Every structure is written in C-alpha cells, then in structure tokens.
C-alpha cells in the first residue's frame, strides 16, 4: 500500500474515534459556551448592556427630553416614557419594566427605584435637575437661559495626546487575548491527546498489530494528521461562535478585512504550532509505556507552551510593543502562542510574520526526521521508560 492512502486511512480512523468520543463532544460544547459567555461578559462590562428605562409622571414629563439629551451626550442610552400616575409607575418599577420613576414636580423631583439608583443615571438626573434650577434663576434675573446654555455649551476642553492610540486598539487587544487563549488550549489539549493515544496503543498492544501492516512513520503521521483535523474543526467552531457573539453584542466592529486576516493567521498558527508540537508529543509518548508516565514525559513540552503564553498575556496588554516579547515571538517553539496575539493586536510587522513562519516551518521539517526516529525506535518497546538519547541512536 502506498504511503498517502495509508496515512489517510490512519487519520480517518483517528477522526472517527475522536468524534465518537463523548468527552470530545461535551468538551467542545463547553468551550463554545465559554467563548460566547466571555464575549457577553465583556460586552456587559464595557457598557454594552440594555438601555436604562426611566418613567416620568405628567408633572415631571418636562425633564424627559433634557435627560435623554444629557445621557446621549455622555454616550449613555436611556429610554424615557410617561406613566399614567405615580402608582402605575411604581408598579412598573416593581415588575422590572422601569429602572427608575421620576415623580414629584419638575422643581422638586423624587426618584423611585426597586433597590438602588445606578451611579451613571444618578449623575445624569442630578445634572438635569441642576440645569433646570439654573434656568429658573436666570429667568428670575431677567436673562435668557437659552443664550446662557449656548455660551456654556460652546466651551470646549482641548486635549493633546502625546501617544494617541488607534480607536481599534482595545478591541484588537481583546481579540488577541481570545485568539491566544484558544490556540494555547488547542496546543495543550491535542498535543497531550497525541501522546496519550500513542501510549494507549502501546499498552493495549494495538500498535504491534498495526505495525505488522504499515510502517511506524505512517502510523505516527496518520495519528498526528487525524487528531489535528479534529482540533482544527473545533478551533473553527470556536472562532465562528466568537465572531457571531461579537457581532450580535456589538463588540466586534473591526473591518471585515482585518477580522478575516486575524482569523486566517490564527488558523495558520494553530496548524503550524500543532504540527510542531504534535511531533514532539508523539515522540514523548513513544518513550513511555504507562499512562501514569505521560505527564512527566510531556511536562517539558507543556512548559514550552505555557511559559510564552503567560508572558504574552501578562506583558502585551500593558506593553504591546515590548521588545522581549517581540524577540521571543520569532523563536519557533514560542511563535505559535505569541505571534497570533501580536498579529491580532496589530503589533507584528509583515517581516516578523514572514520570518517567524519560515523559522517555524523549517524547525518542523527538521523535527520530522528526529521525532520519527524516536517514534520508530521506541514505540514497540514496553516496560521501562526509553531514554531519549538511546531512542535517537538506535536503528
């Protein structure tokens, strides 16, 4: 049997096994829910919630329009309505249909709420009431309140930013962190899955049956490819859920070209990172014969994923152009977790992306031979853990 059909057959087997796994389906559903929940929380924290609903009685209805105008000037969304009477308005507050009810008179208003008045809404209402009081005093002194308000409104505070930031920077920062988290989880999860799959086949002796008909490198390549395809499908599903949630909540406002570029680079770095680390995890799994030993065998590889990720999410939000992170993002084993974050934030130059991609692909090509040798020489050996130096020298 030629090489590619054999590899494809092994990969198809891995895909079927993983998709049939209840743990895979439940885990994917939980991750999708987590991504959507994270975006919704970000939307609520950033003020993307529903408008405040404020009711007015007939006696205070004159305050409705000034309140709405003041709220809009501050970037707040307020919906106003007039209630038949105070009793009906209070009932709407109890039922949750109104956030606040303004009763009393326009000169001496009283605010009714269910529990407490939102600080922002309190500030807007206070400002409106004070403005109304000022207008009355101006009239009493024979002045023109409209003229006074125009003069006051014409005053502007001039602000000079020494280091102005792009209006998209905060959104790109959030996207960068989310992309980094997704790739980080994918590399850890599916890299570990590759190692555990290798050990599982060694323990059950299935690998001996498989290697009776196919070559060791074909088995390793098919396993890496199959698990990688499942991981890619999961990642695309998570990205799709995140994009839909971002658009629905109004948090994703980047131009389509920018968003598409970020998604494309996220997928590309997942593929490169997964292929790079899956080879290493497969070789590490081949060195041991018990599931209990997988953790110790793969711990150095996991640290190579965890350390740059932690550096990235702790340093980049406060210092996007940090030079240490920029250098680390060019190193092949660090690039898959750092470069996607920098690219999403718009901090990675084109030459950096090209260089990091080239170095990562070159490193992966070199690892194919080395990890393939380790896998071939160690996968059929059971019992004591095989030393890496011995696995590299044998055969």
Q: What is residue 169's three-state secondary structure?
A: helix
Domains assigned to the chain: 3-44+168-393 (no CATH), 52-153 (3.40.190.10)
Other CB atoms within a 10 A radius of the CB of residue 12 amount to 14
Residues whose CB falls within 8 Å of the CB of residue 325, separated by 6 or more in sequence, listed in order: 311, 312, 315, 316, 319, 338, 342
The answer to whether the pTM exceeds 0.75 is: no
Query: What does the alpha-carbon distance between residue 382 and residue 373 come to, in Å, rounded to a whole number?
Result: 17
The β-bridge partners of 112 are: 101
Q: Residue 211 to residues 6, 45, 220, 311, 379: CA-CA distances in angstroms?
A: 12, 55, 11, 42, 10
Structure tokens at 279: 């080879």
CB atoms within 10 A of CB 174: 20
Dist. CA 300–CA 280, nearest whole Å: 10
Could you give the CA distance from residue 91 to residue 88 in angstroms, rounded to a whole number? 5
Q: According to the model, what pLDDT value does residue 151 have?
A: 66
Cβ–Cβ under 8 Å, residues 101 and 54: yes
CA distance 275 to 277: 6
The pLDDT value given to residue 50: 61
pLDDT value at residue 394: 55
Separation of alpha carbons 169 and 165, rounded Å: 7
SS3 80: strand
Q: Report the pLDDT value the prediction gives residue 363, as an integer from 0 to 100.
A: 93
Rounded CA-CA distance 93/98 in Å is: 5
- Give the separation between CA 335 and CA 25, rounded to whole angstroms: 29
Angle at alpha carbon of residue 262, lines to 41 and 195, rounded to 5°: 85
Chain CA centroid to CA 374, Å = 36
Query: What is the full per-residue pLDDT of the chain (395 aa) written as tens digits?
Result: 467 788 888 889 888 988 888 888 888 898 889 888 888 887 776 655 566 888 888 888 888 888 888 877 777 778 888 999 888 888 988 888 888 898 988 788 888 888 888 777 888 888 888 877 787 787 777 777 777 667 666 656 566 555 555 556 667 777 888 888 888 888 888 888 888 888 887 777 777 777 778 877 788 888 888 888 988 888 889 888 888 888 887 777 777 777 788 888 888 999 999 999 998 998 888 888 888 888 888 999 999 999 999 998 889 888 888 999 999 999 999 999 999 889 888 888 999 999 999 999 999 888 888 888 888 888 777 777 878 777 777 55
């Amino acid at each position: 049997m030629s090489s590619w059909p054999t590899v494809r057959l092994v990969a198809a087997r891995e895909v079927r096994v993983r998709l049939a796994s209840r743990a895979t389906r439940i885990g994917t559903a939980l991750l999708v829910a987590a991504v959507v929940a994270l975006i919704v929380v970000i939307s609520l924290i950033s003020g993307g919630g529903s408008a405040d609903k404020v009711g007015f009685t007939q006696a205070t209805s004159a305050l409705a329009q000034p309140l709405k105008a003041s709220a809009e000037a501050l970037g707040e969304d307020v919906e106003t309505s007039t209630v038949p009477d105070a009793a009906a308005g209070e009932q709407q507050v109890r039922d949750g249909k109104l956030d606040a009810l303004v009763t009393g008179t326009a000169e001496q208003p009283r605010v009714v709420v269910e529990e407490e008045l939102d600080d922002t809404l309190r500030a807007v209402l206070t400002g409106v009431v004070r403005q109304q009081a000022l207008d009355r005093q101006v009239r009493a002194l024979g002045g023109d309140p409209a003229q006074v308000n125009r003069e006051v409104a014409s005053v502007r505070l001039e602000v000079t930013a020494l280091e102005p930031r792009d209006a998209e920077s905060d959104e790109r920062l959030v996207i960068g962190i989310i992309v980094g988290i997704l790739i980080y989880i994918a590399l850890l999860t599916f890299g570990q899955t590759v190692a555990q799959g290798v050990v599982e086949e060694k323990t059950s002796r299935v690998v001996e049956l498989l290697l009776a008909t196919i070559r060791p490198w074909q088995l390793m390549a098919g396993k890496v490819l199959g698990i990688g395809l499942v991981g890619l499908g999961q990642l695309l599903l998570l990205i799709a859920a995140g994009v839909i949630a971002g658009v629905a909540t109004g948090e994703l406002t980047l131009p389509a070209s920018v968003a598409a570029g970020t998604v494309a680079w996220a997928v590309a770095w997942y593929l490169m990172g997964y292929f790079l680390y899956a080879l290493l995890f497969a070789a590490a799994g081949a060195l041991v014969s018990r599931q209990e030993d997988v953790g110790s065998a793969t711990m150095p590889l996991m640290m190579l994923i965890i350390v740059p990720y932690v550096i990235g999410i702790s340093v980049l939000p406060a210092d996007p152009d940090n030079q240490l992170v920029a250098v680390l993002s060019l190193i092949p084993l660090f690039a898959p977790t750092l470069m996607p974050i920098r690219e999403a934030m718009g901090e990675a130059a084109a030459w950096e992306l090209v260089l990091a991609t080239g170095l990562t692909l070159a490193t992966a090509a070199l690892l194919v031979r080395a990890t393939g040798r380790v896998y071939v020489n160690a996968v059929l050996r059971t019992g004591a853990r095989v030393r890496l130096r011995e696995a590299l020298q044998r055969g």
